[in-house]
Amino acid sequence: MSGELLQLAEWGVKRALEMGADEAEVFLSTARAREVYSEGRRLKAVAPASRSAHVRVAKGRRVAHAFATTFSREVLEELVARAVEMASRAEEDPHWRGLPDPEPPRHGWVGYDEGVATVEAEWLAQLVRDMIEEAERAPGVRVSTAGARAQLGTHALASSRGVAVEERGTSFSAGLHVKAGEGVGERGVSSRSLVRDVYPVVEEAVAQALDSSRASKLGETVRGPVLFRARTFAQLLASLVVPALSAMSVLEGLSPLAGKLGQRVLGGLTIVDDGTMPGGLATSLFDGEGVARRRTVLVERGVLASYLHNTYTARRMGVASTGNAARGPGSVGIGPSNLVVAGGESSEGDLEAEAAVVADGTLLSVHTVNPVTGNFSVVVSNPYLVKGGELVPVKPVTVAGNIYQVAELVKPARRVRDTYTGIYTPDVLVGGLTVSG
């Protein structure tokens, strides 16, 4: 569909201007996935294909969005008409300073893999069967679900300011959830290209389930340092800190980091948003409104250096966009690209020795943490109690605290790991938390 998509988007922009819009932007995307997953051992194959059309128009300082899951000319015409009509009846936004201007990309890495784009369901089915067989070789282990997914996405963006970009990208993921008695283990891997060797994933999931099957109750409340494995720390970061770094949250009075640029807020952590990182799960040439992806230091040795911006928040706060516009159905919001937490001085083993509890597996209910205050109270699925230098598996525990209150007690390990979520972080020790179970 190369070229055609962009032409259609440009046609939509033209129509919007003809209908009376002062500015218009049309974003069209297509996604096609092939996925095989199991319910227990039974396989199911799905091949969802979807399209979306996003229209943003402005009349003076009145802005409206329209969105649809199909984009023939007929539908696009209706959508553009609807958006123009809504904009003419919307309220003025005194802060609106127009759509982004065009700019060239800042890097050349395109996350497209022909293998992922063309892989057949049979290949995925065999991979899933292999994972199931390998996992169930371990005595007492049963697979709850295993799956593999290959996705291809393309999008085009055109605007009345002359933005005209077209991109494509692929992603692949595979993973499994296993049970051993009452114990559970879960692991997955994601990449922009095909992953053939999924055995490490299987081994880790199985080992975790076996550990969890011999876990006993913690039976007490412990106050002290918790070592978050890279995966669980990434979850906490994504739900608790990333929303607070969004300039939109800052402007709307929802961020505890508002007014704190230049201040030490996160202990000794360094966090960088890098949309240009080769191989990154979230690397792309442009963000959701056609602004070039770039590398932005958000927090440097604990000191808040920048928020995440789209063009609207950047102009409102008098800075340049950080290329973090995220297109949702019906709005242009803000989202991170690849987030990289810098490694520290300690080895993972050193930090284990310092910890009271290790938070492994996943954080349950992590989406319920409160980014407005920094309070969190979550459940760790596969925790370990550190006892005489040994890691002793325990049943799920609650971990609670306030990230900004314990910020000075945060210590990252040396090795930065891929958590397969677009977040690259080491294991991180966080002191002063309350653990109960």
Partner 1 sequence: MLEDLARLALDEAARLGASFAEVRFEDSTRELIVYVNGRVVTLSFQRSRGAGVRVLYGGGLGFASTGDLSREGILAAAREAVKAARAVAPGDRRLAPHPLRSASFRIEGVKLHPSRAPLEEKLDLVKRAYGVAREAGAASATARYGAHYGTVEVYTSEGVSVSVERLVVGVSAHVVLREADRTGDGFEVYGASRGLEVFSEAGAPEEVAQRALSYARDSLRASRPPAGTMVVVTRPELTGVFAHESFGHLTEGDFVAAGTSPLAGKLGEQIASEQVTIVDAGLCERGGYALLADDEGVPTQRTVLVEKGVLKGYLQSRESAALLGVEPTGNGRAQSFAHEVVVRMRNTFFEAGDWGEEEIIEETRRGILLDKPAGGQVELDGTFTFNARIGYLIENGELGEPVRDVVLAGNILEMLKHVDAASKRVEISTSPFGGCGKMGQMVHVGDGGPMLRTVLLVGGERG
At 93, list the tokens: 């936004």
Contact 312, 327 (CB under 8 A): no
Q: What would the x/- binding string for partner 1 be over residues 165 to 184, using CB under 8 A? A: ------------x-x--xxx
Q: How far is CA 250 from CA 261, 263, 331, in A?
A: 11, 15, 17
SS3 204: helix
49 binds partner 1 (CB under 8 A): yes
Q: How far is the CB of 415 from partner 1 (least distance, A)?
A: 28
Counting every residue written for the chain, the total comes to 437
SS3 353: helix
Contact 333, 202 (CB under 8 A): no
Contacts to partner 1 from residues 213-252, by CB under 8 A? 221, 223, 248, 252
Among 174, 334, 379, 428, binds partner 1 (CB under 8 A): 379
Stretch of 31-39, 97-105, 410-418, 419-427 contacting partner 1, by CB under 8 A = 31-39
At 78, list the tokens: 């209706």
Q: What would the x/- binding string for partner 1 be over residues 277 to 306, using CB under 8 A? A: ------------------------------
13 Cβ contact list (under 8 Å, min separation 6): 24, 25, 26, 158, 159, 160
329 binds partner 1 (CB under 8 A): yes
Torsion of CA 137, 141, 143, 146, to 10 degrees: -60
Contacts to partner 1 from residues 107-136, by CB under 8 A? 120-122, 124-125
At 289, list the tokens: 């409104």
Among 19, 203, 375, 416, binds partner 1 (CB under 8 A): 375
Q: How far is the CB of 97 from partner 1 (least distance, A)?
A: 14
Contacts to partner 1 from residues 334-363, by CB under 8 A? none
Among 27, 286, 376, 424, binds partner 1 (CB under 8 A): 376
What interhelical angle do 4-18 and 73-89 show, nearest 10?
Answer: 40
Q: Other C-beta atoms within 10 Å of 60: how many? A: 13
Contacts to partner 1 from residues 250-279, by CB under 8 A? 252-254, 256
Stretch of 162-170, 300-308, 335-343, 370-378 contacting partner 1, by CB under 8 A = 370-378
Q: Count of residues binding partner 1 (CB under 8 A)?
A: 85
Contacts to partner 1 from residues 393-412, by CB under 8 A? 395-396, 398-402
Q: Other C-beta atoms within 10 Å of 405: how many? A: 11
Contacts to partner 1 from residues 59-98, by CB under 8 A? 63-72, 75, 78-79, 82-83, 86, 89-91, 93, 95
